[in-house]
Structure 1
Amino acid sequence: MYNPVSTYRFQLNSEFTLSHVDALLPYLQQLGIGTIYGSPIFVSTPQSGHGYDAVDPTRINPEIGTEAQLRTLTDKLHDANMGWFQDIVPNHMAYHPNNHWLMDMLEKGPRSRFAHFFENSQSSLFFRDRIEAPFLPDALDKSIADGALRLNYDYDRLVLQVQGNTLPLKPESYVAVLQAGAGQPNEAVQELATQLDQMHHVEEPEALAEAWAEFQIQFGALMKNEATGAFIRSAIGAVNKSPEALTALATSQHYQFRTEPETRREMNYRRFFTVNGLICLNMREQDVFDAYHAYTKELVDTGVFQGLRVDHVDGLYDPKTYLDRLRNLTGPETYLIVEKILQADEKLPEGWPIEGASGYEFLAMLSNLMTDARSEPAFRDFYAGLIGNDVSVHRQVRDRKAYFLSKYMGGELDNLYEYFLAQNLATETELNSLRIGQLKQTIAEMLVRCPVYRYYGNAMPLPNRDANALHDILAETTAIRPELTDAANLMLNVLLTHPQTADTDYNARALKFYQRLMQFTSPLMAKGVEDTLLYTYNAFIGHNEVGDAPERHGMSPDEFHATMQDRQQHWPLAMNTTSTHDTKRGEDVRARLNVLPDLADEWLSEVRQWLDIVAAENPSEGKYVGIPDANDAYFMLQNMIGAYPMPGEGDDDFENRFGLYMEKALQEAKRHTTGWTVEETYHEGIRRFISRMFDKEGPFWARFTPFHQRVADFGVTNSLVQTVLKCTCPGVPDVYRGAEGWDLSLVDPDNRLPVDFDRRQRDLTALSAQKSVDWAELWQHRFDSRVKLAVLRTLLHLRRDNPTIFADGEYIPLAIEGAYSRHVLAFMRRNDTDCCIAVVPLYVAQLATAQQKTDVLTIDWQDTRIKLPDNAPANWTNPFTGETVTDTLVQSLFSAVPVAVLLSRTS
């Protein structure tokens, strides 16, 4: 099995290509990186910034580079004992003219070779009617009247174009167009009509594809002929001048035009979440799997890719079967990871043939470890008083999901209801006994009350985990909504009781419904919680993060140790992630926010005064009401303290970035929006609020600056704690592009802005040139990020030089003794020959404030020490300083830098 040792994530696009990666290889080697982790690399929509909108999985995106470049690059990696780990997206592709599989299906309908490649009515009875083309700016008749929808000739075919989207005409429609031409068609045009008529009777997809390809060549040639081309163009013009003809043409295709608002109420293809421009693949079919992965397999087999990360595994119909196929395709040595968001007590299915998840659960554990749980009541009470609302987070999760389902996923709910009926899982008598709407409402409750992203049962009767969860979901439904008791009991019988004795046919039908249901619990969780609740429930936004949860507020060291021991036992090569392209805030924003629970009383007092200042500057808004409301104002203040640049490091265009961030945050919150647009009056109020916050001559800035400097300073230590744990805990440390320096970014697109690699290379070159690191100088100038870079570099080299300790070594919690034992966490990693100890401080702002210290290195740790096992080595080396260590007093361990790692080698 390939061990990545460590990964470095690049976001590849037209602005950052394989050439840029190639130029950075010496830097990555110097940093100690083991494996490059590439964002999706196959052909995507033009100028895609991320690559998750693929149009062709059989070629490298030319905007990024060529296959030859990639192979040359990976040859260099292999020479340096490095590898390439590739992100793939089997769940969906772009609904785009460049997606030739999709265009072929839209053109030929059920006679297309690719008719079953996508999730729509041509591949599953779950969907009904012709696939929607949701690109109209307005109703069809108005779009035609306004000239927004037009017939055109494009690359040897006739197409309908609307708002930058190009959709092919079906072959049968060409005759109607040609008949609209001025004058008598010449012999060539008549021959085209004859060919079209003959093709109408070709049913076999391969034969039709061949005939149509030949027809297109002829059609394109005739368009270049002066007489014939003029005739066809006149026909196109005549259709465009006739609303009736254009309407008839538009409504007779293998697709049907819709507006975006209409897709919120009805939807007949599966989308990625609710993104109309991303259509899901029918990956459960073997030939679809084979076609999509053919090029990936070639790149794995020829040594280009050593590992694959599977994006959005929860979207797949049967993740276990997919992953089994992928493992069989790529072989036992390929490193396989899934993007999977785990809830607090949720575990990955152990039967999956993978190395683990992409690390959001690890991110959440670190963040909770650094949060002092004792501060939770203060934060909750303050927040409830501020907004005048004490509704539980659990209730708000349910409410946000229900809101999103009703507003944006009504079509998906209708499809599930109709599919349930179509599977004949209940008798007419049972269905007729229910009141109108009961069954559909119960299905809705099952979706919104699902406590995790999804379950994975792929056989009836369902496994215990699924069955128990489903029982609890329906019990909660009847407890909260007793009027749905009959429908909930019916669902219990259909999915849990009857399958125990039912025949194979019934269970197959019940499973079809259940697996379809599970495909929609995850997008609802993502959109209702990740992209709504995390912007509306703001008691403490440090845990409003992908993989974490706003109701969480701390984790004890004992809980952390137990989780890490389990991780080492089951998923020793899972990813240890702290920032990604999808995180709501950069890793150092979260690290800084976790200072606030240490200073809870002081922080909440500051917030009260800041709000008073802002209200006083805008008296027409009253005490603290108006725009923004108290909830949004508090959200902004937390983000401001967390993300504002380090003292003395410049503001990095932060006011403008913050304004753009708030615009997106308000859109996601959906509290002051019409559709997807923020109400202008409220938006203007937000802009005024931001302007007042950033008035550097004003009273808010005078109070904010000294408090920000204190919090930022303590945040540096939390960032180093995070770095040490990422590199020494079970798992593979992942560095998001640029996060070897401070990552004070906000949600995308802010976290995808260009990285100043020139500065990072200069800093790393200077560090590498030193015989021994001058930790005193680095700590003195800690706001410039070099101290983080130095800690990370040291640990990445330690891992690279000692891979087996971290891949195979035991995780052994170490006891802490002395006055400040609750403020320290330590553990040992040990294999047969080597040992490594990691020691980090916890809640340092609390301790430093109690001792009236402004510098963490001056904290008096008194007699606090690490208690080592009896059989532990007596002598250790500190890889940060190179010193020999024989005593585990925390005071000496934290003398140079406020984190410690010790190594003992007997081999």
Structure 2
Amino acid sequence: MIPLTATYRLQLHREFGFADATRLVPYLQRLGVSHVYLPPVLAARPGSTHGYDVVDPTRANPELGGDMGFVALADAVHAHGMGLIVDIVPNHMGAGPANPYWLDVLALGRDSRWARWFDVDWSASHARGRIVLPVLGDGPEEVLARGELRLAVQGDAFVVRYYEHLFPLDPRTVHELFAVTHTYVFPPHAREDEAEWARLRAGLQGEGGRALDADAASDAVRAASDAVRAATALIARSEAVRAYVEWVLDVFASGDDGRMRLAALLERQRWRLAHWRETTRELHFRRFFDVTELVAVRVEDPAVFEAYHAWTLAQVAAGRIDGLRVDHVDGLADPHAYLRMLRAALDARRPDERVPILVEKILAHGEALRPEWPVDGTTGYEALNEIERVFVSPDGAATLERGYRRQLRARPTATYADVAERGKEHVLRTAFRPELRRLVSLLMRVARAVGVDAKPAAMSEALLQLAIALPVYRTYVRASASDGRLVADPHDRRLLEDAVAHATARGVAKPDVLHFVAGVLLGDVPGDVPMKAAQRRAAHEAALRFQQTSGPATAKGIEDTALYRWFPVASLNEVGGEPDHPLEAAVEELHAANAARGARWPRAMVAATTHDTKRSADVRARLDALAEVPARWNALVGRWHRRHAPLRTKVGRRNVPDANTEWLLYQTLVGIWPEGHDGAADDALVARVQEYLRKAMREAKAQTSWTQPNAAYEDGVLAFARAVMVEDGGAEFRTELASLLAVVAPAGRWTSLARTLLQGAAPGTPDTYRGDELWQLALVDPDNRGPVDWAERKVALVERELGTVAPAELLEHAADGRIKLHVLRSVLQARRAHAALFTDGSYVPLHATGEHAVHVVAFARVHEGRAAIAVAPRLPLGLAPDGAPPVGARWGDTRLDLGTVRHALGTSALRDLVSGGEVPVEDSISLARLLDALPVALFIGD
């Protein structure tokens, strides 16, 4: 098996498919990558830019190049000595016209052979066995009256169209279309087609959804479906029959009688359409987060698991896929059980090697990945945040927060924790009401069985308060393999008991109801109380569904709400980040986390930038530097706020933008503004910033939102942003911004180089996001998924291979990004050349002494008599306030103590794989010598 030493994540879509990726393979191999890492490659909704909306798991995405394109890419990757890791999406599929499985369920309801695939609450009383689809822009009657619902023939089905939406008719009801008395006359030349149609029309007569036993229902479905397929085939080949059918369908769109007929036909379908605003009241199928277009899959069902993973596992068996990244593992009913099935399936296909499984899992601070999971680690968000905190000055961050509070006139007692709780509460009371409603229904059945007297509203409030109080995304209570009873391990029990105490202290939910709900979630209720099997199943399902709800609610409430509401230092507001986490012990915590990762999860990913990060690593590095000039920043923001008062507008009584959005705008511009540019921004940059601001405002859900956009407020903010970026009223601002960036941008570069080294040399598998080997100043999607200049990167790599540019020149021209590619390539090549050292080597923190000891982060990797030493700067403006490179004499008398690893260094000189220089082996070495040529170094000693 190819050693997993470094991954490189590509983004695939219609404009960059398998063939484009194949052309990059030689470049990635020369960069030092061991595994090419792909987003989901299965057939997705047409035009998908990300692939997480899978519609057919049995084939590769045709828009990317289909199965043949995928095989060609995999073959090229392996021919270059690399492996292939693929992202899979077991939690959900894209609903809609492109998903044949979902369409079949819509057409046939529970009689569909695919009904078991999707997590639909068929027992929901308001649905009466139908699937409610809240997609209409108005009430059903109004939409029908305006003629916006039209009958049509699509492929081998009769459907109802509503703009881009498509809803198939139950084939058992299609005969009703042709039961209308009419005087249509076929042309004389089409007598044979007319006769064939008459025969087929007779076959369309079915049971029409009448209640039948299972066998009879199956026969009726099969007969009706066959008849509809035969009819649509004739329609496709006969112009005369097609004209007749179009005439009949027009009858249902004509006048009051036609609309009444259509309304009656709709009542006979296995789906019911509703206004999209009724989502929180009507929806009764589980989704991905709150995205109704992504319907959850019951992958815990072994039959569904096998069918859904068949293509992927076949590629593993064929040696084309060498590792899997599992998306949104916390959305699954029982992640442990799913991962055990996946591990068993992989081991059966590749019995002689362990195919790595990496899970997308957000770990709260202090939370550990479940040791019983048969995986190789996470995708690295916890590592991303551990590294980020190292580069933020604790005192500076505190000063920035004081300035932020003054700007917002925030209450002295306001905290980020309060904001996070309000964010979770907001989404639970709005977007996740369908999930709470389903949980309440289950809990009420259990309550009645055990004699608990509680109203549904009280039950709902208790659930909501427990979810708010839970400090992690979810617990992992699961069914015992021996008797099926729910089992909570001590950690989960303590989490839920603490959540009860916290929720009780808030005083909103009733304590007795809180304790009852927690008892069900822990498996303590019903205990040994005699209950019917259905009631026990309800208790079991409630416990599992709560866990599937708390995770998405936490993600939406924190990542997509709170982190857009509170951002004194925006670089700390990252996926999985906790902006209020103390920074004073960041270096020690990084060392402890690295050591733990090396001991337990040596192949886990270590991320810096991903397709989901809110800011690229290079943007965050610039913002980190603001904490080194906090007084200057606070003064500038205060000055800009006063100066730009004429640029603000009013919406009602509110200033536009508000102080919070204005602070975010200024930090955003620090992150992406072109260095050395004090003139007006170009249109492309303005558009990027405006698109980001619109997303940020809607995610915050304060003045506007995705479901209730406030166009006046948004337009005012976007006009303000354009004014400060382009118009004369922002000219002085742009001059001052350029002056600030003359210091902050270089500091950000040195931090980015340090991050690249720490990420690459630490335990785990460093992951590079496409294009990130040069400077990449990108915001959240779609900004971070824009085109990449691959030619520029290939040229820079060739220069490094030929050795035509010396380290001194790289440093002198650091703004062009070649120095970052050089550092990354040096680290990745070292990992590949010394795989055992970096994968299996022990982790030893190294400490410095002297006047600038606080500004260095260093550690050693030691394995079988060989050592690697990584040395990087932190808080670089403390070494060079003007932003100059932290090299040579800047380090003064600071020395690095190597005594703890001296035994593994031998007596020969240490060679720096980054600069090419050497230093003699000593117990203590001057930082001025270690970092004489470049700001970072990776030494190898024998």
Deviations 1:246-286 (A, max 9, x none): 11122221111022211033310111111111111111111
Q: CA deviation at 1:524?
A: 0.9
Deviations 1:296-316 (A, max 9, x none): 010000011000101111111
Q: CA deviation at 1:845?
A: 1.1
Whether 1:239 and 2:241 are equivalent positions in the alignment is no
Matches within 5 A, 1:744-823: 744-770=777-803, 773-823=805-855
**Does the Cα contact within 8 Å between 1:3 and 1:335 map onto a contact in 2?**
no
Q: What corresponds to 1:715 in structure 2?
A: 748
Whether 1:884 and 2:897 are equivalent positions in the alignment is no
Matches within 5 A, 1:465-864: 465-481=491-507, 484-496=510-522, 497-498=524-525, 509-554=538-583, 555-615=585-645, 617-618=646-647, 626-647=655-676, 653-673=684-704, 676=707, 678-695=709-726, 698-770=731-803, 773-849=805-881, 854-857=884-887, 860-864=890-894
Q: What corresponds to 2:228 in structure 1?
A: 216
The worse-fitting range, judged by mean Cα deviation, of 839-848 and 495-504 is: 495-504
Distance in 1 separating the partners of 2:65 and 2:814: 38
The worse-fitting range, judged by mean Cα deviation, of 532-541 and 49-58 is: 532-541
Distance in 2 separating the partners of 1:754 and 1:123: 47
Distance in 2 separating the partners of 1:399 and 1:620: 28
Deviations 1:602-653 (A, max 9, x none): 22222222222222x448779x982111111011111111222344799673
**Does the Cα contact within 8 Å between 1:343 and 1:452 map onto a contact in 2?**
yes
TM-score for the superposition, normalised by structure 1: 0.94
Amino acid at match of 1:745: A
The 3-state SS of whatever aligns with 2:37 is strand
Amino acid at match of 1:839: V
From 437, 445, 466, the equivalent of 1:414 is: 437
The worse-fitting range, judged by mean Cα deviation, of 512-521 and 449-458 is: 449-458
Q: CA deviation at 1:166?
A: 1.1
Q: What corresponds to 1:316 in structure 2?
A: 332
Q: What corresponds to 2:271 in structure 1?
A: 255
The 3-state SS of whatever aligns with 1:811 is strand
TM-score for the superposition, normalised by structure 2: 0.91
Amino acid at match of 1:814: L
Q: What corresponds to 2:482 in structure 1?
A: none
From 421, 434, 437, the equivalent of 2:457 is: 437
Q: What corresponds to 1:894 in structure 2?
A: 931
Distance in 2 separating the partners of 1:181 and 1:129: 31
Distance in 1 separating the partners of 2:74 and 2:127: 43
Distance in 2 separating the partners of 1:228 and 1:655: 55
The worse-fitting range, judged by mean Cα deviation, of 125-134 and 55-64 is: 125-134
Deviations 1:414-455 (A, max 9, x none): 111012123x25546422xx4662221111112222221111
Amino acid at match of 1:301: A
Q: What corresponds to 1:355 in structure 2?
A: 376
Q: What corresponds to 2:131 in structure 1?
A: 131
The worse-fitting range, judged by mean Cα deviation, of 784-793 and 199-208 is: 199-208
Distance in 2 separating the partners of 1:877 and 1:435: 72
Matches within 5 A, 1:275-354: 275-331=291-347, 333-354=354-375
Distance in 2 separating the partners of 1:484 and 1:647: 59
Matches within 5 A, 1:22-41: 22-41=22-41
Whether 1:46 and 2:46 are equivalent positions in the alignment is yes
**Does the Cα contact within 8 Å between 2:171 and 2:225 map onto a contact in 1?**
no
**Does the Cα contact within 8 Å between 1:118 and 1:281 map onto a contact in 2?**
yes
Q: What corresponds to 1:148 in structure 2?
A: 148
Shift in CA distance, 340/463, structure 1 to aligned 2, threshold 3 Å: same
Distance in 1 separating the partners of 2:51 and 2:747: 37
Counting aligned pairs with the same residue, the percent is: 33
Whether 1:374 and 2:400 are equivalent positions in the alignment is no
Distance in 1 separating the partners of 2:815 and 2:56: 44
Amino acid at match of 2:757: V
Deviations 1:516-549 (A, max 9, x none): 0011111111111111111111222111110212
Show structure 2 runs of 5+ residues with no match: 186-193, 348-352, 480-485
Distance in 2 separating the partners of 1:124 and 1:398: 30
Amino acid at match of 1:545: E
Q: What corresponds to 2:172 in structure 1?
A: 172
Q: CA deviation at 1:495?
A: 4.0
The 3-state SS of whatever aligns with 2:629 is helix
Q: CA deviation at 1:846?
A: 2.4
Matches within 5 A, 1:265-276: 265-276=281-292
The 3-state SS of whatever aligns with 1:639 is helix
The 3-state SS of whatever aligns with 2:430 is helix
Amino acid at match of 1:103: L
Distance in 2 separating the partners of 1:620 and 1:394: 31
The 3-state SS of whatever aligns with 2:935 is coil
Shift in CA distance, 756/208, structure 1 to aligned 2, threshold 3 Å: farther
Shift in CA distance, 123/104, structure 1 to aligned 2, threshold 3 Å: farther
**Does the Cα contact within 8 Å between 2:698 and 2:709 map onto a contact in 1?**
yes
The worse-fitting range, judged by mean Cα deviation, of 808-817 and 293-302 is: 808-817
The 3-state SS of whatever aligns with 1:595 is helix
Distance in 2 separating the partners of 1:135 and 1:513: 28
Distance in 2 separating the partners of 1:266 and 1:221: 36
Distance in 2 separating the partners of 1:733 and 1:407: 38
**Does the Cα contact within 8 Å between 1:133 and 1:255 map onto a contact in 2?**
yes
The worse-fitting range, judged by mean Cα deviation, of 196-205 and 2-11 is: 196-205
The worse-fitting range, judged by mean Cα deviation, of 797-806 and 670-679 is: 670-679
Distance in 2 separating the partners of 1:206 and 1:325: 30
Shift in CA distance, 696/6, structure 1 to aligned 2, threshold 3 Å: farther
The 3-state SS of whatever aligns with 1:56 is strand
Deviations 1:734-783 (A, max 9, x none): 11000001121001000011111111111111221116x51111111111
Distance in 2 separating the partners of 1:208 and 1:572: 56
Q: CA deviation at 1:375?
A: 2.7
**Does the Cα contact within 8 Å between 1:400 and 1:528 map onto a contact in 2?**
yes
The 3-state SS of whatever aligns with 1:327 is helix
Equivalent pairs, count: 897
**Does the Cα contact within 8 Å between 2:895 and 2:926 map onto a contact in 1?**
yes
**Does the Cα contact within 8 Å between 2:842 and 2:863 map onto a contact in 1?**
yes
Q: CA deviation at 1:227?
A: 5.3
Distance in 2 separating the partners of 1:121 and 1:415: 8
**Does the Cα contact within 8 Å between 2:657 and 2:720 map onto a contact in 1?**
yes
Amino acid at match of 1:588: D
Distance in 2 separating the partners of 1:629 and 1:475: 36
CA RMSD of aligned residues (A): 2.5
Amino acid at match of 1:514: A
Distance in 1 separating the partners of 2:700 and 2:615: 16
Distance in 2 separating the partners of 1:352 and 1:491: 27
